[in-house]
Amino acid sequence: MHISTKGRYGLRAILDLAIHYQDRPVTLSAIAARQQLSEGYLEQLMAPLKKAGLVGSSRGAQGGYYLTRAPQDISVDEVFRALEGPLKLTPCIAEDQAGDCFRKGNCGSAFIWQEIQEAISGILEKYTLADLMTKENR
């Protein structure tokens, strides 16, 4: 399993918004400088976060991006789903392709993949941006 730069950098960007929740809106240039990411790439990351309703934006001289909910109300799972899509450990148990495997029903290993996927989902659902903020501030 591999988490793409989209997922990793997107989590860094939205965590930056969470840390600066009181200073909203936050410009992409400020996030880019703090996170050492390009503004162009950040713009691409904000689009799916905005589409998922996790991030909002305002235009103008005082414009920028902001969280639409408090950091404690946004799970890491929501962020990853917005950026990466459904969890797809293997095609036979992928949330968006369930049942596509011709061996379904007589596969001796599918339960392992299912258990691993549920464990990953459970961890991502367990933590919020507020939880990550406490780790970031240490």
CB burial of residue 31 (10 Å; 0-12, 13-18, 19+): buried
CATH number of the domain enclosing 95: 1.10.10.10
Q: Helices (H) and strands (E) in the chain — how many of each? A: 6, 2
Per-residue pLDDT tens listing for the chain (138 residues): 568 899 999 999 999 999 999 988 999 999 999 999 999 999 999 999 999 999 999 988 888 999 999 999 999 999 999 999 888 777 777 665 555 666 666 777 878 888 998 999 999 999 999 999 998 765
Phi-psi map region of 64: left, alpha, beta (phi>0 left; psi -120 to 50 alpha): left
Write a three-state SS string for 86-110: CCCCCCCCCCCCCCCCCCCCCCCCH
For residue 38, give its domain range.
5-136
Question: In angstroms, rounded to a whole number, what is the distance separating the alpha carbons of residues 49 and 78?
Answer: 9
Number of domains making up the chain: 1
Q: What is the pLDDT of residue 3?
A: 81
Do 121 and 89 touch, CB atoms closer than 8 A?
no
